[in-house]
A and B are shown apart, each in its own frame.
Chain A
């Protein structure tokens, strides 16, 4: 039997050593982690316009991703009223980098709608511009998000890339892991013939309406519904901006 003093001392020493090693490791690896995160973020934005790139995003090296992103993407931050925010305003609202790629959508969701920032990426394809907007919602375990590329009619979806924090591999995580899920969104439309917002719905079984429905991932009903909800709510935030730019 050890004395209580020994036990306390032992635990203190063990936890101090462990804490020091771990925090040292985390600090040392922070730059690499940040770079990986930034690249993953850019990759997922580029993924929405995968069809319009010479090399598919999956085959690009990290440096190529950075290069293509710099060369061909313009980024803006808009607010709920459709105004483009200046770098200063973006910093004030809580994104220290001042660019759309630095906007933390997870944090924006917790603000009141009038104070939120919405990142917008414009991809310059050979003969047209594509507008990539970001949407975010809830999956089964944690947040899910998507980058949606719209054609310049602000109606037709040109491509979608999804991301998630903690969906189950093989089930909910299929929204990112299975390229066929995201591919279904290509060519779907946000508005019906009368110009009413209809969004795109993830359905169980076979999708009937090719313009507004896609097949869901089997066994991942909550994630599917999350995608539907995220599209319906998230896209509307950009409508003010779309209207402004179309009337110009």
Chain B
């Protein structure tokens, strides 16, 4: 009896759960196995520019998650009607539209952060990961998986951004999220003679310069590959 009931239920309702195995993989894959920065080595440009401090990196991550998720969603919704000859232009319009929405909203919600990030919000338009995902995924897949793919890739990008910013702010400025932690001078939280073992550190200015982002990302790629066996080339 039970068996015949299961057979009778329409298959489509069951075979497409909102968070099936494929959907979960779309979200998680780009964070580890298929990370846009450490594996695909895309979007390096902004990873160099805005990772001197953690808080701009966090806001940037949120903005990119929004832009990428919805750019993928809209592109996927329109994928049958977008003329192939001008698809890049349409994608650019969609991305530029979403970036402007982010810019206008941020200006109204949090003006100080808007001032801090202004140029870089605009530069999301040129983030190669977004264009890459629209072209490679959203043009060929359904809206929901596309949305997840966008969010997943943006999270993979953001995770690396925040990790890099963590090391650069910690060792470059001796602070985190603007809180000064260690270094010489009375302005630091942990800097009394009793804590000499923390106050000996002199913030390394090299970490503030963009070159250090490349070093940090390089080391991250190395660690990532050593730790994730799947990424090691067989050849």
Give the CA-CA distance A32 to B111 in the complex, in Å: 10
Q: 0/1 per residue, B94-115, Cβ < 8 Å to A?
A: 1001001100110110011001
* A165 lies within 8 A of B101 (CB): no
B35 within 8 A of A: no
Quick one: which of A15, A21, A169, A171 contacts B117, CB cutoff 8 A?
Answer: A169
Chain B 175-224 interface residues, beta-carbon cutoff 8 Å to A: 187, 205, 208-209
B84 to chain A: which residues have CB within 8 Å? 1-2
Q: Across the interface, which residues of B come within 8 angstroms of A166, CB to CB?
A: 118-119
- Please state if B111 and A14 are interface contacts (CB–CB under 8 Å): no
Residues from chain B with a CB closer than 8 A to the CB of A129 are none
Interface of chain B, main secondary structure? helix
**CB closest residue in chain A, given B49:** A168
Q: Report yes or no: A169 in contact with B101, Cβ–Cβ below 8 A.
A: no
- The reply to whether A11 and B209 form a contact with Cβ atoms under 8 Å apart is no
Q: Does B52 lie at the interface of the complex (its beta carbon under 8 Å from any beta carbon of A)? A: yes
A10 to B49, CA, bound (A): 36
Q: How far is B187's CA from A180's CA once the two chains are assembled, in angstroms?
A: 9
**Chain B residues with CB below 8 A from A15, complex form:** 93
Question: When the two chains form the complex, which single residue of B81, B111, B116, B168 contacts A10, counting CB atoms closer than 8 Å?
Answer: B81
Contact A33 B93 (CB under 8 A): no
CB neighbours of B56 from chain A (8 A): 169
Main secondary structure of the interface of A (DSSP, over half): helix
Determine the chain B residues whose CB is within 8 A of the CB of A32 once the complex forms.
Answer: 108
Against B, the Cβ 8 Å flags (1 = close, 0 = not) of A18-40 are 10011001100100110011011
With a cutoff of 8 Å between Cβ atoms, the chain A residues found around residue B62 in the complex are none
B50 at the interface (CB under 8 A from A): yes
Bound-state CA distance A177–B50 (Å) is 14
List residues 166-184 of chain A with CB under 8 A from any CB of chain B: 166, 168-171, 173, 177, 180
Known: A10-B81, A15-B93. Is A173-B209 also a contact (CB below 8 A)?
A: no
B208 and A22 within 8 A (CB)? no
Q: Pick the contact of B116 from A1, A6, A7, A173 — CB < 8 Å?
A: A173
How distant is the Cα of A158 from the Cα of B13 in the complex, in angstroms? Answer: 71
A14 pairs with B119, CB closer than 8 A: no
Q: Whole-angstrom distance between the alpha carbons of A10 and B87 in the complex?
A: 11
Given A15-B93, A21-B97, A40-B115, A7:B52 Cβ within 8 A:
no
State in angstroms the CA–CA spacing of A2 and B90 once bound together: 14
Instruction: Kindly state the separation between the CA atoms of A219 and B52 in the bound complex, as whole angstroms.
Output: 12
A104 interfacial contact with B, CB 8 Å: no
Taking CB atoms, residues of chain B closer than 8 Å to A169 are 49-50, 52-53, 56, 116-117, 120
CA distance A88 to B53 in the complex (A): 46
Interface residue A83 (Cβ < 8 Å from any Cβ of B): no
Is A218 at the interface (CB under 8 A from chain B)? yes
Contact B119 A29 (CB under 8 A): no
Bound-state CA distance A218–B97 (Å) is 36
Report whether A2 and B83 are in contact in the complex, using a CB–CB cutoff of 8 Å: yes
20 further A-B contacts with Cβ under 8 Å, apart from A11-B86, A15-B93, A29-B104, are: A1-B85, A2-B83, A10-B81, A10-B90, A11-B89, A11-B90, A18-B94, A22-B97, A22-B101, A26-B104, A33-B107, A36-B107, A166-B118, A168-B49, A169-B50, A169-B117, A170-B52, A170-B168, A173-B116, A219-B209
Binding site for B on A (CB under 8 A): 1-2, 6-7, 10-11, 14-15, 18, 21-22, 25-26, 29, 32-33, 36-37, 39-40, 141, 165-166, 168-171, 173, 177, 180, 218-219
